[in-house]
Structures are given as structure tokens and as C-alpha cells.
Structure 1
Amino acid sequence: MGGPVLAVELAEAVPVAGIERLRELLVGLSTRFEEKRVGEYDLQIRAESLGIAAGGVDGHRPFLVSLMGPGVGDEWIFEAEHPDAVDQEALIGFTPTHAVDVIARADEPIDHLATVLLTAAIMDVIGGIANAGLAHGQRAIVEGLPGLVATTSGTWPWPAAYGSTEFLRAWSRQSGFRLLT
């Protein structure tokens, strides 16, 4: 079963040292870690390592973290997720050349919280701007949160919010928080 997905937009390729720091972060948070290729990791994250109490649910949450773009891998996915119709430079100040997808492989409430906090931890290491799809009615919830860079009202493929780690963490504390799945 698939769960929520967040993307981190990057203005340039992540240097080798940054990829190593990302790998170290993920190894430290994981109970299972498999490197499928440089920059692509299949993991089990301990919810407690992100500060989340499991609350009776298995605290070991499955994720795929995938760095993509020219020279790294999954270029076709990067191209598909970055259509020419959206002028991201006008929204976030740069045109992304690379991205990281953080993909939960389960869809319990704990997975939504773990996805947003894992994405913030990844951004603490490699930088970037989070790109989060918004469900109906969520734009009003995120407007005014600290660290929000921009929102879209467009329809391709859904409205989105762009923000910093501060934004992600503030959003996760909102009543009824849930990522788009």
C-alpha cells in the first residue's frame, strides 16, 4: 500500500559529501537500510528516532528515499514531476535541477507525520525547498505558517505548498494534519 509523498526541490546536484551525510542520517534513523543505488534508499525508519510516539502502532515505518535528476538517476521521473507548465523559479526563486522524493509505503496517520519529519531532517542535511501537494481545503490551513515560501492554486496536478523545514514542522503541528496521498 502506498502512502504520502513529499518532494524536496533542489537548485543543483547534491555534492558527494552531501550524499554521504544524507546516507549517514538515514542509516542512523533506520532499523533496515538498503542502498539500491547511490542516492536511492529503501528503509525502515524508527518513528521514535523522529520524535514520534508510535501509540500502539508498529513504530518501524517503511520508506523509499530517492535522489533524482541528471547524473544521479531516475531522470525520467524528475522530468515527469517537473512539467514546463509550472514556473517554479517564479514561485521559489530557482528552477529545480534535482529533487528528492520521500515516499511512505504505508498510509496510517503515523506515516504522514513520519514523512513530513523525515523530509525536514533530510532538508536539514541537503537543503532545498519542500513541495507538498495539497488536498481540498488545505491551502487555507497552510497560509500564514512560518517558512511558507509559496502556494499554488493551479490544477496541475493539484494545488501545492512550497516551504522550508520550519514550514513542514509547523504544518505537522496543525490540527487534522494530513499529507496528500
Structure 2
Amino acid sequence: MSGPVLVIELAEAVPRAAIQRLRDLLVCSSARLEEKRVGEYDLNIHAESLGISDTGGVDGRRPVVVSVMGPGIGDGSIFEAEQVDQEPLIGFTPTHAVGIVAFCNRPVDHVVTALLTAAVMDVVGGVVNAELREDQVPIVTDLPGLIATMTDPWPAAYGSAEFLRAWAQQPGFRLLK
């Protein structure tokens, strides 16, 4: 079963030193890590390493993929095909991205995805692109770190790591799949 997905939009390629720091973060935070290629990691993240104590009675090791992509790393052609004009919203046209994909869809997986994405942003920078349900737009509007929202062609919020951490603390928090 697939779970929530978040994307970190980046204005430039992630430097190799930052990719190494990202790998180090993931190694320290996970029970298992497999490096598929430089910048792509299949792991079981420890929910506790992100400060999550309530796992809803499920194993705290949550399966996730973290993937740096764009020209020169990963599949640049797929990345380019998925772009929408984001410059008016975030101030730059993304050239690279980091995708964080959870493989389970329990409430803890939504919180893990958000907090892991925030931790990755602390290392690589960027702006998170989070698709929303229409009823979530008013919830995120006043959160710290929100950069922009859009409703067309679908509701989405753009924000900082601070935004993700604040949103994940909201009652009933849930990412759009």
C-alpha cells in the first residue's frame, strides 16, 4: 500500500557534500538503509528519531524512499515533465527536487513523512510542495513558514520546514496521498 508523498522544490542541484550529510542523517535515523544510487535511499525510518512517540500501536520503523532528482542525478526527464510554473509562487523555477514517499498509509506515516521532509529540508534547503484537500486550505493559511497557497489546478501549499512541523502538530493532521 502506498502512503503520503511530499516534494521539496530546489532552485539548483544538491551539492555532493549536502547529499553526504543527507545520507548521514538517514543512516542515523533508520533501522535499515539501502542506497539505490547516490541520492536515492530506501529505508525504514525510526519514528522516534523524529520525535514521534505515538505510533498508533504499529511498529515505529516506517518504510520510506527519499530520492534526489533532476538533471545530473536521478531521472531528469521525468522531473522536467512534472513541472508546473511555480516561480510566481515561490520565487524560483525548480531545477531539482527531493521526493519523500511513504509506503504505508497509517496516521503515523503522515507525521513521519512530514517530519522527515522537514529534517531533509534542514540539510538540503528548498521549499516543500504539499498537495492539499480543499478543506485543508484554511487550516494551513495561518501557519508559520507558509510561503504560498494555490487552488488551480489543485489545492497546494508551499512552505518551509517550520511550516511542515507546525502543520504536523494540527489535530487530525493528514497529508494528501
TM over 0.5: yes
Aligned length: 176
SS at match of 1:154: coil
Percentage of pairs with the same residue: 68
Q: Deviations over 1:79-101 (max 9, x none)?
A: 2321xxx3211100110000000
Q: Which amino acid aligns with 1:61?
A: R
> Normalization by structure 2: what TM-score?
0.97
Distance across 2 between alignment mates of 1:77 and 1:173: 33
SS in 1 for 2:66: strand
The 10-residue stretch of structure 1 (28-37 or 46-55) with the greater mean CA deviation from structure 2: 46-55
1:87 match: secondary structure: coil
- The residue that corresponds to 2:65 in the other structure is 64
Question: What are the within-5 Å matches in structure 2 for residues 1-181 of structure 1?
Answer: 1-53=1-53, 54-82=55-83, 86-155=84-153, 158-181=154-177
Deviation at 1:144, TM superposition (A): 1.3
Deviating more after overlay: 111-120 vs 135-144: 135-144
Deviations 1:121-149 (A, max 9, x none): 00001100000000121111100111000
Q: Which amino acid aligns with 2:122?
A: D
> Distance between the aligned counterparts of 2:78 and 2:117, measured in 1?
19
Which runs of 5 or more residues in structure 1 are unaligned? none
Task: Give me the whole-angstrom Cα distance separating, in 2, the residues matched to 1:136 and 1:163.
Answer: 17
Tell me the SS of whatever aligns to 1:137: helix
1:75 is matched by which residue type in structure 2?
A: G
Range moving further from structure 2, 111-120 or 47-56? 47-56
TM-score for both structures, normalised by structure 1: 0.95
Q: Separation in 2 of the partners of 1:92 and 1:143?
A: 15
Distance (whole Å) between structure 2 residues aligned to residue 132 and residue 119 of structure 1: 11
